[in-house]
Chains A and B, each alone.
Chain A
Amino acid sequence: MTTIRPGRAALHVFIIAGCLIMVYPLLWMLSSSFKFNTEIFSNTTLWINDFTIDNYIQGWKGVSGVTFGTFFLNTFYIVGMSIIGTLLSCSMAAYAFARLNFTMKKALFAIMLVTLMLPFHVTVIPQYIVFNKLGWIDTTLPLILPKFFAVEGFFIFLIVQFIRSLPRELDQAAEIDGCGPIMKYIYLIMPLAMPALVTSMIFTFIWTWNDFFSQLLYLSTLSKYTVALGLRMFTDSTGQNSWGAMFAMSLLSLVPLFAVFIFFQRYLIEGIASGGIKG
Chain B
Amino acid sequence: MKMKALLIGILCLVFVFGAVACSNNTANEPAPANNTKAVEKEPAPAAEEPKKEELEEVEIRFTWWGDTKRHEKYNAIVDEFEKAYPHITVAREFGEWVDYWDKLATQSAGGNAPDVVGMHMTQVANYASRGALVDLQPYVDSGVLDQSDFPKPVTNSGVIDGKLVMIAQGVTMSGWVYNSGLLERLKVEPPSFGWTWDEFAAKAKEVTTAFNEKGHWGATDMGGDVTSLIYYSRGLGKNLFTEEGKLGIDQQDMVNWLTIWDNLRKEGSVPDAATTSEYRTAPLEQNLFISGKVAFHALPFNQIPNYQNYIKDGEVRALRKQVNPDGKNGEFIEGAYLAVTSGSKNPEAAAQFINFFVNNENAIRIFQLEQGAVGSTKMNELVKTLINPAQQRAVGAIEETLAFAETAPLPPKGQGEVATALLAANESVGFGQSSVEAAAAEFVKAAEAILAK
Check whether chain A touches chain B (CB < 8 angstroms).
yes
Is B56's beta carbon under 8 Å from chain A?
Answer: no
Please pick, from A37, A130, A217, A242, the residue contacting B21 in the complex, using a CB distance under 8 A: A130
If A104-B7, A217-B103, A232-B96 touch, does A239 touch B69 (CB 8 Å cutoff)?
Answer: yes
What 18 new A-B contacts, CB under 8 Å, besides A137-B112, A220-B61, A232-B95?
A: A38-B309, A40-B285, A41-B291, A42-B291, A63-B72, A103-B3, A125-B106, A128-B112, A132-B110, A133-B21, A133-B25, A216-B102, A233-B68, A233-B96, A236-B70, A238-B65, A240-B69, A241-B284
Of residues B21, B75, B112, which shows the largest number of chain A Cβ atoms within 10 Å of its Cβ? B112
Q: Which residues of chain B from 59 to 107 have any CB-CB distance to chain A below 8 Å in the complex?
A: 61, 65-72, 75, 91-99, 102-103, 106-107
B residues neighboring A (CB under 8 Å) = 3-4, 7, 18, 21-22, 25, 61, 65-72, 75, 91-99, 102-103, 106-107, 109-112, 283-286, 290-291, 306, 309-310
The CA of A62 and the CA of B71, in the complex, are separated in Å by 10
Closest CB of chain B to A148's CB: distance in Å? 19
If A128-B106, A133-B21, A133-B25 touch, does A238 touch B68 (CB 8 Å cutoff)?
Answer: no
Of residues B67, B75, B98, which shows the largest number of chain A Cβ atoms within 10 Å of its Cβ? B67
User: Within 8 Å CB of A129, what residues of B?
Assistant: 21-22, 25, 109-111
Please pick, from A126, A213, A222, the residue contacting B22 in the complex, using a CB distance under 8 A: A126
User: Within 8 Å CB of A104, what residues of B?
Assistant: 3-4, 7
Q: Which residue of A lies closest to B74 (CB)?
A: A64
Q: Which residue of B lies closest to A124 (CB)?
A: B106
If A42-B291, A232-B96, A235-B96 touch, does A128 touch B110 (CB 8 Å cutoff)?
Answer: yes
Closest CB of chain A to B25's CB: distance in Å? 6
B110 pairs with A229, CB closer than 8 A: no
The 6 closest A-B pairs by CB, nearest first: A236-B67, A239-B67, A236-B96, A128-B110, A64-B75, A41-B285
The CA of A208 and the CA of B97, in the complex, are separated in Å by 23
Is A234's beta carbon under 8 Å from chain B?
Answer: yes
If A64-B72, A103-B3, A235-B96 touch, does A216 touch B103 (CB 8 Å cutoff)?
Answer: yes
Is A237's beta carbon under 8 Å from chain B?
Answer: yes
Q: Which residues of chain A from 105 to 138 have any CB-CB distance to chain B below 8 Å in the complex?
A: 124-126, 128-130, 132-133, 137
Closest CB of chain A to B310's CB: distance in Å? 6
B91 pairs with A132, CB closer than 8 A: no
Encoded as 1 (CB less than 8 Å from any B CB) or 0, chain A from 204 to 243 comes to 0000000011001100111000000100111111111111
B95 pairs with A229, CB closer than 8 A: yes
A residues neighboring B (CB under 8 Å) = 37-38, 40-42, 62-64, 103-104, 124-126, 128-130, 132-133, 137, 212-213, 216-217, 220-222, 229, 232-243, 245
The CA of A121 and the CA of B431, in the complex, are separated in Å by 32
B95 pairs with A41, CB closer than 8 A: no
B103 pairs with A233, CB closer than 8 A: no
A240 pairs with B306, CB closer than 8 A: yes
8 contacts between A and B (CB under 8 A): A41-B290, A104-B7, A125-B110, A132-B112, A213-B102, A233-B68, A236-B66, A239-B66
Please pick, from A42, A62, A133, A240, the residue contacting B67 in the complex, using a CB distance under 8 A: A240
Closest CB of chain B to A182's CB: distance in Å? 22
User: Within 8 Å CB of A234, what residues of B?
Assistant: 67-68
The CA of A137 and the CA of B309, in the complex, are separated in Å by 40
B18 pairs with A126, CB closer than 8 A: yes
User: Within 8 Å CB of B112, what residues of A?
Assistant: 128, 132, 137
Closest CB of chain B to A22's CB: distance in Å? 24
Q: Which residue of B lies closest to A242 (CB)?
A: B68
B285 pairs with A37, CB closer than 8 A: yes
User: Within 8 Å CB of A239, what residues of B?
Assistant: 66-67, 69-70, 306
If A63-B68, A104-B4 touch, does A232 touch B99 (CB 8 Å cutoff)?
Answer: yes
